[in-house]
């Protein structure tokens, strides 16, 4: 089971996107768990569950450099595309997350 974890300010706005992504994963029978959390819980969540990918909501883009420094190269860290985020495009964001998992360690 691969874990794709989304982080934003309160975890609320990304919860809808995470559930859309989980719907797509379930529809295609993919062994992926998608969850959303508040960025304030990131350290605890990451140390406890070791996600395969960390995606940041656009509103916490300012955390990207610090988060990458802390968790990469073991765990890819990227900011969710603003357009996909705004449209709650679970399929596109899930495909993006899967591509990060596949390319992990190749960069």
Among residues 86, 96, 104, 75, the alpha carbon closest in space to that of 24 is found at 96
Which run of H or E residues covers position 70? Answer: helix 64-71
Which tokens hold the place of 94?
């899930």
Give me the catalytic one of 4, 8, 25, 100. 8
Q: Which of 55, 83, 81 is nearest to 68 (CA)?
A: 55
Question: 83 catalytic, yes or no?
Answer: no
Strand (E) or helix (H) holding 33:
strand 32-38
List, by residue number, the catalytic residues: 8
């Amino acid at each position: 089971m691969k874990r794709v974890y989304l982080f934003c300010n309160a975890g609320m706005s990304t919860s809808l996107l995470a559930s859309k992504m989980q719907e797509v994963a379930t529809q295609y029978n993919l062994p992926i768990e998608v969850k959303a959390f508040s960025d304030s819980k990131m350290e605890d969540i990451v140390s406890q569950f070791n996600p395969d990918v960390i995606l940041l909501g656009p509103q916490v883009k300012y955390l990207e450099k610090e988060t990458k420094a802390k968790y990469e190269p073991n765990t890819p860290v990227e900011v969710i595309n603003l357009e996909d985020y705004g449209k709650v495009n679970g399929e596109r964001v899930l495909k993006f997350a899967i591509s990060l998992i596949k390319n992990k360690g190749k960069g």
